[in-house]
């Protein structure tokens, strides 16, 4: 059975989400950015851009992002 995806962080813009995604990739964790198209359509985003990972890796991914990497704008879900 495949892991489901869970949201581990929310961002106000897609560039920060993609930076966080790259940090996780550097640690071997595959991440997915969702909601960026809707957020890019409006000056004030209607919804945050979300960063998702496999549920089995969510704890490790959160720890990596909370360790003081450049994604300090990430908001806990």
Q: What does DSSP say about strands 31-34 and 49-54: parallel, antiparallel, or unpaired?
A: antiparallel
- Spans of all domains in the chain: 5-66
Dist CA 70 CA 54 (whole Å)? 22
Reported pTM: 0.76
Tell me what pLDDT residue 75 has: 44
Mean of pLDDT values over 23-46: 81
- For residue 45, the Cα-to-chain-centroid distance in whole angstroms is 16
What kind of architecture, by CATH, is found in domain 5-66? 2-Layer Sandwich (3.30)
Q: With residue 44 as reference, give the H or E element that holds it.
A: none
Report the share of the chain in percent with pLDDT over 70: 74
């Amino acid at each position: 059975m495949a892991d489901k995806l869970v949201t581990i962080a929310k961002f106000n813009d897609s560039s920060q989400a993609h930076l966080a995604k790259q940090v996780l990739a550097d640690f071997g964790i595959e991440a997915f950015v969702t909601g960026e198209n809707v957020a890019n359509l409006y000056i004030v985003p209607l919804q945050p851009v979300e960063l998702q990972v496999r549920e089995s890796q969510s704890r490790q991914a959160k720890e990596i992002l909370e360790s003081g990497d450049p994604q300090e704008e990430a908001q806990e879900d």
